[in-house]
Amino acid sequence: MSDNTTTPQVVLEVRGVSKQFPGVLANDNINFDLRKGEIHALLGENGAGKSTLMNLIYGLHRPDKGEFIVNGKPAVIHSPNDSIALGIGMVHQHFMLIPVFTVAENIMLGDETVKRGSLDRAAVAAKIRQISGQYGLDVEPNAIVGDLPVGIQQRVEILKTLYRKANIVILDEPTAVLTPQEAEDLFRIMRDLTARGVSIIFITHKLKEVLAVSDRITVMRGGRVVNTVTPAETNSAQLANMMVGRQVILTVDKQEREAAEETLIVENLTVRDQRDLETVHGVSFSVRAGEVLGIAGVQGNGQTELSEALTGLRHPTGGKVTIAGKDLTGKTPRAMTEAGLAHIPEDRQRHGLVLSYSITDNMVLCDYYRPPFSQRGVIQPKALDDYARRLIQAFDVRTPSPFVQAGKLSGGNQQKVIVARELSRKGVKLVIANQPTRGLDVGSIEYIHSEIVKMRDHGIAVLLISAELDEIMALSDRIAVMYRGQIVAIVNAKETTREKLGLLMAGAHAETA
Amino acid sequence: MDWKRFGFIGLVIVVLLGTVVMIGQVKQAPLLIITSMLATTIAVATPLTLGALSGVFCERSGVVNIGIEGMMLAAAFFGWLSGIYMYHIFKLPPPVCIGLGVFFAVLTGGLMALLHAALSITFKVDQIIGGTVINILAVGLTGFLNRQLFFGKGSVFGGTVPSSPGVLPTIHVPITELFGGICGGAASCLENVQAVNRVFDQKPIAMTAILLVFFSHYVLFNTRWGLRSRAVGEHPKAADTVGINVVMMRYANVVIGGLFAGLAGAYFTIESVPSFEPLLTNGRGFISLAAMIFGNWTPIGAWAAALVFGASQALLINMQIFRDVIPPQWAFLQESYIVGLTPYLLTMFILTGVIGKTTPPAADGVPYEK
């Protein structure tokens, strides 16, 4: 990576930048520098001020104090146009792409090539092909962006910055939406870019990635820079401590447990997706009381449809689902929850919460119709309020009041509301958790992991579906690997390795892996 | 715009034409009926076409505009009124008055749209409410002024509606002159050529509307302006991050839409008939929106859909012409209130989505918050 023997050239320097938002000092006297050709990771929990700092550098907001030095000269950045002109490009966490436009239209937007009044699509496509060839970013300029997989869409975003001749590229949480393979691909692209003199600011809260790809790491917490270190002089635990400001337990402690009766039995289950294609082909497994069964697999191998079929959101086309001794195949979500299912859904904003409802109302979404929350068909506000306040406290949901709309909470707190609701219900016998920590920061992940293990230790069956192999390995007693709609192997968590699981996830047979 | 949709449009127009031909052929040659009906179709589709274009510009940039009806009505009134003023108060020659009338109609549409833009973009009022405000405002304002100026005690024009300076003339396209030679002097052949010629002999706003359809299509899909306009209607934040001024683009497109609606208004009182009556737009602003939706927010598609509605209006007109030869088993066609339902029934049928679903711009109707 970058060569540190000579004095490194600094392409971007942030000096004493502060930004006050109503109620919070989002950036407090930030000093930061980016050297030519380096990957500089900016690490911090949600709300640490990383995104604010990047929005200041990109000109989406203006700082209250401080200055930016770009390529040795003080720079005035009042709008994205200014930063684009200075060679700064940004890939936003939520892509700034127009799905119905072609790749070429998306890339040229705002910087169009025009010939006699018409868009010169051919010239733009040629230029895109040239740039994508140069940086190894394979993309078809005439493809419609909405048809492309997420990983390719991200390439389009990167191309967008390169098309504008950016030599400083900000990547905001770029791996949050990627599969492990796509993330690997992104890291290769990042290294290619830096080898060609592009400097990258890599915003993330994933420790492993930071240690794997960065040249330097700056940690932020509570709007301030905690420290800047190199990967060689630090490790995961130390970084986590800097991020959170206290000791963080990265490994999960579990007691040995004797697994008991089978709480969830799935036999020969087949499920079709909304396009009516069969995505789960005759899957069978069981989860015992007091164990965590992890389902590992690259996203899109049928996990979503499987979990929907097990929680009543989707009708299976064949097979049988038994929960706590009752045949609940194709029953409604309510029948399932009444039988003892707690469900932490994959998409917390679509299936986990009613975003416009208060935290209180969200806390009782499964049980509002039952006493003590309802008496003779009438909701009891007092009971709801007491219950919500108790859970907010018990699960450490950070909110000014229980009346706050769920949509106003941070992702971590939203997930805590769901976890609180699902795990506190009476008579839970089975927990199905799908991607329970996706997009969350270290502190929240630690918390949710400990809650899941607590359920297991209390003798509840847990089915954990996750694309994060580390999560699966840390929490599971047994691990089932899903590939193309089938469970290709079920292994004992203690007797397997990352490598073996990785091979299985890529479709290798159990015997050869 | 898929073939299913164009096929449906073609089919409906053929059925409507066929009905008239079957009934009217005892009185007139089929070719004459077809050409005269096509000519009427194109003419009466004019305000629908312009209204639909108005909607396309607004909604492609992300602003829902159900106020097109009101913009048309206000433009029809003020265009007509300014023509009369110029004619009677300033004593200007009729062609000048008519031209200024068109100008003021277009201007009225633009101003009404500016109001809609301010409400929906700057003040972020619910755009359906904003559009409804425009519609109610137009009905109230035109009705009130119409009464105050022309009728009742102390009215400016003393209780009578003065004569208007007239309407726009038909422009003759010299097809007969250019291609009449192929007939070699045969009178029946020449008659046919003249009949075909009548389809092309339209008035200025009708002709302009057709040119604007193709021009708009080109602008929207092949120019920088169009790309940026569609971008702010699909994903304004993405446009903002590449330095496009979302607010300015939306304002400009809504006002452009208003100018189109204003020209549609001019059609009613300056091109079609030289008079105004309250509520004369009669829901055609809303039918324009249906045409826009059925045309999948594309100018050419919207025009094709507007022609269907035009044809169904031409059916109504022709059923009155051929009223006395309608066979008894089709007697219901004599009732203009039944035939008159056709455009409205078509609107409802089309909007059910049976002929394929259409997709509005993703940020249509959503105010942009930074």
Structural domains in chain A, sorted by start: 10-244 (3.40.50.300), 249-340+427-513 (3.40.50.300), 355-424 (no CATH)
Mutation pick from B242, B358, B370 vs chain A, by most beta carbons of A within 10 Å, is B242
Distances from the Cα of A168 to the Cα of A327, B178, B206, angstroms? 58, 65, 54
Residue in A closest to B238 by C-alpha? A96
Q: Is B171 on the interface with A (CB under 8 A)?
A: no
Query: B-chain residues within 8 Å CB-CB of A60?
Result: 241, 370
What ipTM, to 2 d.p.? 0.90
Does B227 contact A112 at a Cβ distance shorter than 8 Å? yes
Query: A-chain residues within 8 Å CB-CB of B227?
Result: 101, 105, 108-109, 112, 119
Does A80 contact B362 at a Cβ distance shorter than 8 Å? no
Which pLDDT value is given to residue B49?
A: 97
Element at B203 (helix H, strand E)? none
Does A111 contact B235 at a Cβ distance shorter than 8 Å? no
Query: B-chain residues within 8 Å CB-CB of A111?
Result: 242
Q: Is A122 on the interface with B (CB under 8 A)?
A: no
Query: A-chain residues within 8 Å CB-CB of B360?
Result: none
Using alpha carbons only, how large is chain A's radius of gyration in Å? Answer: 25
Question: Which of 147-186 (A) contact B at CB < 8 A?
Answer: 160
Query: What is the C-alpha to C-alpha distance for residues A186 and A200, in angstroms, rounded to an integer?
Result: 12
Query: A-chain residues within 8 Å CB-CB of B370?
Result: 60
* Inter-residue contact B197 to B175 (CB < 8 Å): yes
Strand A168-172 relative to strand A224-229: parallel, antiparallel, unpaired? unpaired
Looking up tokens 């599971």 gives: A476
* Inter-residue contact A194 to A1 (CB < 8 Å): yes
Which pLDDT value is given to residue A510?
A: 54
Q: Could you count the other beta carbons within 10 Å of the beta carbon of residue B359?
A: 9
Does B234 contact A114 at a Cβ distance shorter than 8 Å? no
Q: Which of B223, B224, B235 sits opposite A98 (nearest CB)?
A: B235
Query: A-chain residues within 8 Å CB-CB of B228?
Result: 109-110
Q: Return the axis-axis angle of helices B224-234 and B30-60, rounded to nearest 10°.
A: 70
Does B224 contact A81 at a Cβ distance shorter than 8 Å? no
Q: Is A144 on the interface with B (CB under 8 A)?
A: no
Question: Which of 243-272 (B) contact A at CB < 8 A?
Answer: 243-244
Which pLDDT value is given to residue A511?
A: 52
Residue in B closest to A94 by C-alpha? B238
A382: exposed, middle or buried (C-beta count within 10 Å: 0-12, 13-18, 19+)? Answer: exposed
User: What is the least distance, in Å, from the CA of B294 to any CA of chain A?
Assistant: 18
Q: Could you count the other beta carbons within 10 Å of the beta carbon of residue B71?
A: 35
Q: Is A111 on the interface with B (CB under 8 A)?
A: yes
Sign of CA dihedral A110, A113, A115, A118: negative
Q: Is A105 on the interface with B (CB under 8 A)?
A: yes
Q: Is A109 on the interface with B (CB under 8 A)?
A: yes
Q: Which of A106, A110, A119 sits opposite B223 (nearest CB)?
A: A119
User: What is the least distance, in Å, from the CA of B122 to any CA of chain A?
Assistant: 19
Q: Is B369 on the interface with A (CB under 8 A)?
A: no
What percent helix, strand, coil does chain A show, rounded to 5? Answer: 35, 25, 40
User: What is the least distance, in Å, from the CA of B240 to any CA of chain A?
Assistant: 8
Query: What is the C-alpha to C-alpha distance for residues A294 and A476, in angstroms, rounded to an integer?
Result: 5
Q: Which of B224, B238, B242 sits opposite A119 (nearest CB)?
A: B224
Q: Is B368 on the interface with A (CB under 8 A)?
A: no
Which pLDDT value is given to residue A168?
A: 96
Does B223 contact A114 at a Cβ distance shorter than 8 Å? yes
Which pLDDT value is given to residue B337?
A: 84
Query: A-chain residues within 8 Å CB-CB of B231?
Result: 98, 101, 109
* Inter-residue contact A275 to A300 (CB < 8 Å): no
Does A117 contact B230 at a Cβ distance shorter than 8 Å? no
* Inter-residue contact B98 to B166 (CB < 8 Å): yes
Q: Is A114 on the interface with B (CB under 8 A)?
A: yes
Looking up tokens 């109620």 gives: A23
Q: Is A51 on the interface with B (CB under 8 A)?
A: no
Does A119 contact B240 at a Cβ distance shorter than 8 Å? no
Mutation pick from A61, A109, A116, A156 vs chain B, by most beta carbons of B within 10 Å, is A109
Q: What type of residue sits at position A49?
A: G
Residue in A closest to B233 by C-alpha? A98
Q: Which of B239, B359, B362 sits opposite A109 (nearest CB)?
A: B239
Q: Is A110 on the interface with B (CB under 8 A)?
A: yes
pLDDT tens, per residue, chain A with 513 residues? 444 456 679 999 999 999 998 777 889 999 999 999 999 999 988 778 888 899 999 998 899 999 999 999 999 999 899 999 999 999 988 889 999 999 999 999 999 999 999 999 999 999 999 999 988 888 999 999 988 888 889 999 999 999 999 999 999 988 877 767 778 889 999 999 999 999 999 998 788 889 999 999 999 988 899 999 999 999 888 898 888 887 766 666 677 767 688 999 999 999 998 778 889 999 999 999 999 999 998 777 889 999 999 999 999 999 999 999 999 998 999 999 999 999 999 888 888 999 999 999 999 999 999 888 999 989 999 999 999 999 999 888 888 889 989 988 877 788 999 999 999 998 899 999 999 988 777 778 888 899 999 999 999 999 999 988 888 988 999 999 998 899 999 999 888 888 788 788 877 765 554
Query: What is the C-alpha to C-alpha distance for residues A294 and A482, in angstroms, rounded to an integer?
Result: 10
Q: How many CA atoms lie within 13 A of B76 on its CB side?
A: 32
Q: What type of residue sits at position A287?
A: V
pLDDT tens, per residue, chain B with 370 residues? 578 888 998 999 999 999 999 998 888 899 999 999 999 999 999 999 999 999 999 999 999 999 999 999 999 999 999 999 899 889 999 999 999 999 999 999 999 999 999 999 999 999 999 999 999 999 999 999 998 888 877 777 777 788 889 899 999 999 888 888 888 878 888 888 999 999 999 999 999 999 999 999 999 999 999 999 999 999 999 999 999 999 999 999 999 999 999 999 999 999 999 999 999 998 999 999 999 999 999 999 999 999 999 999 899 888 888 888 888 888 888 888 888 888 888 888 888 877 777 889 999 999 998 7
* Inter-residue contact B81 to B107 (CB < 8 Å): no
Query: B-chain residues within 8 Å CB-CB of A95?
Result: 238
Does A80 contact B237 at a Cβ distance shorter than 8 Å? no
Query: What is the C-alpha to C-alpha distance for residues A338 and A299, in angstroms, rounded to an integer?
Result: 29
Nearest 5 degrees, angle CA B126-CA B130-CA B134?
170
Does A109 contact B227 at a Cβ distance shorter than 8 Å? yes
Query: What is the C-alpha to C-alpha distance for residues B296 and B300, in angstroms, rounded to an integer?
Result: 9
Which pLDDT value is given to residue B262?
A: 98
Q: Which of B222, B223, B234 sits opposite A98 (nearest CB)?
A: B234
Mutation pick from B221, B224, B228, B296 vs chain A, by most beta carbons of A within 10 Å, is B224
Which pLDDT value is given to residue A494?
A: 87
